[in-house]
Structure 1
Amino acid sequence: MTLSLDTMGLGVPVVKDARAFYTAAFAATAEDRGRQVSLDLHGTGHLALYGSGALAAEAHTDPAPADGFRGYLMTFVVRWPTEVKNVLLAAVEAGAEVLKPAKKSLFGAFSAVYRAPDGAIWKVAAPNGKDKGQVSRPAVPTETAALLGVSDMAAARSFYQALGMTTDKNYKHYADFHPGPGACRLGLMPRSTLAKDVGVQESGGDGFRAAVLHRGAGSRAEVESTLETAAGAGGRIAVAARETGEGYTGHFADPDGFLWKVTAAQEMP
């Protein structure tokens, strides 16, 4: 069993509005799937948009929204600075709030940070400070990532390693894991450091974060073993595995309370 972030599930006030925003911001294709809208981020991961209340109910958690910083950051990585600017412009035109304008960082990268109308915070980043190749229009990401703000880096890293994830970068204030094919990268950073990086106050955050990370399992047995391993590694089972309209599904929370949904598709008769 190896955990992977196959889809980032976001709870949004109005699914139709969020669908319009994300398709405009990322030039992403969208597919309606009953209670959710699925967006393909150009083969580097998926977004699933739910009504916030429905997402909270599915995870058996209080739907009261978090006040203040939700504790996570989504990242859309492109090749060149002009692509960063273009993605930011598209997001702003669709209703985003700029938290940090597009600019070069101390380490040579180029990035911008914005808050989407649904409240999720996104960073658009390029590893280079200057365009050194052809600019893609629309911008196509090289990868997407979810960065979680955690209270104890060592404990959080050990938790995800116990679930089969392989560490890629491992520093005092940052760690991440090798992503699976077509999946989002998962990263960890101290919560206070992450809040500073995105330009918001660390305070607040109590309540539903309007985010559930998704893993597609290959079998019912894998769903159950993933939940059991998570509970044994310092997390907890939030919702026991059961049959749902999507398949055989369970939820667990990591040591910092970030929720994961693990689903094995329904078996064909």
Structure 2
Amino acid sequence: MLSLDAIELGVPEVPTAREFYVSALLSPATEDDQTVRLDLYGTGQVGLRDVKELADDLEAGPDTSGFRGYVMSYIVRQPREVQVLVDAAVAQGATVLRPPKKGFFGGFSAVYRAPDGAVWKLAAPTKKDTAPAADPPTPTETGVLLGVADPTVSKVFYTALGMTVDRDYGTKFIDFVPAKGSCRFGLMTRAALAKDAGVAAAGTGFPAAVLTSRRASRDEVDAVLSVAATAGADGVSTAAEDGSGGYAGRFTDPDGFTWTISSP
């Protein structure tokens, strides 16, 4: 029932953020009156929107400080592609939080903070290169990891909304099977996620992100919102016309992350 189809990031200046992400992710972008959309090669979508406008929509203040409680995930095929993307991000003003390196148990990863404040983890499943880097390096999957109070409790909430667990390591890490063309979605404790990203866990204010699930019909939107309310979501809104011919409503999960449920 619920899938993570897009992640909308609030940014201080949309044109500046557009320039950064198009260059850092080597991704094509389209835009409408409010939002720049980065097409992540069939693995979901990231939207860039003015953070004050996004906060106003949620009736929240736009100020934020410290760790925002989530990490964006971008998976490529091999280590040299991680390096290519990190170099591209740094050239556009990103700050490296964890330099590219081999993992203790496997894989290769790096973490950076984008100029807008979002934290990104780039990773490859292998420690060794087997071919030249793709030009451009395209992701095999993208996603977001949320820092929550207790992943096992959050799992109950999200499975009630129809998500299927993929890997379950209890309080250490849980993620869900992504629908085709959507983003992977995972859960860690806030402290563990911050440590993995190389940042302090403390943080306050607006997280500058909204998670989006796109449904095929208005009835499906209403059904998701109804189940969310029953499962313990806060701030469940009644879906309504969104001003562009679409139909959408929102809820906030038990850890304070906001979802938009929409239909064209």
Aligned-pair identity (%): 50
> Letter of the aligned partner of 2:240 in structure 1?
R
> What aligned pairs does 1:79-90 form with structure 2 within 5 A after superposition?
79-90=77-88
- 1:209 maps to what in 2? 207
Show CA shifts across 1:39-71 (max 9, x none).
Answer: 1011111011100011112223x1232221100
TM-score of the pair, normalised by structure 1: 0.95
> What aligned pairs does 1:26-45 form with structure 2 within 5 A after superposition?
26-45=25-44
Quick check: 1:227–1:237 contact (8 Å CA) kept in 2?
no
Residues of 2 paired with 1:140 and 1:150: CA distance? 29
Give the CA deviation at 1:238: 4.3
Secondary structure (helix, strand or coil) at the match of 2:263 reads strand
- 1:175 maps to what in 2? 174
Show CA shifts across 1:146-187 (max 9, x none).
Answer: 000000111100111000000000002001001011100000
Quick check: 1:59–1:239 contact (8 Å CA) kept in 2?
no
Residues of 2 paired with 1:31 and 1:135: CA distance? 25
Give the CA RMSD over aligned residues.
1.1
> Letter of the aligned partner of 2:142 in structure 1?
T
Show CA shifts across 1:114-149 (max 9, x none).
Answer: 000110000000011110234212111100010000
- 2:108 maps to what in 1? 110
- Ranges of 4+ aligned residues in structure 1 off by more than 3 Å: none
Gaps of 5+ in 2: none
Task: Tell me if 1:12 matches 2:11.
Answer: yes
TM-score of the pair, normalised by structure 2: 0.97
Residues of 1 paired with 2:247 and 2:28: CA distance? 27
Give the CA deviation at 1:243: 1.0
- 1:195 maps to what in 2? 194
Quick check: 2:147–2:190 contact (8 Å CA) kept in 1?
yes
> Letter of the aligned partner of 1:57 in structure 2?
D
> Letter of the aligned partner of 1:231 in structure 2?
A
Residues of 2 paired with 1:202 and 1:32: CA distance? 33
Secondary structure (helix, strand or coil) at the match of 1:261 reads strand
Quick check: 1:66–1:208 contact (8 Å CA) kept in 2?
yes
Residues of 2 paired with 1:64 and 1:40: CA distance? 26
Task: Tell me if 1:72 matches 2:76.
Answer: no
Give the CA deviation at 1:237: 3.0
Give the CA deviation at 1:240: 2.6
- 2:250 maps to what in 1? 251
Residues of 2 paired with 1:182 and 1:229: CA distance? 24
> Letter of the aligned partner of 1:47 in structure 2?
V
Give the CA deviation at 1:112: 0.4
Range with bigger deviation, 228-237 or 45-54: 228-237
- 2:21 maps to what in 1? 22
Gaps of 5+ in 1: none
Range with bigger deviation, 128-137 or 32-41: 128-137
Task: Tell me if 1:221 matches 2:219.
Answer: yes
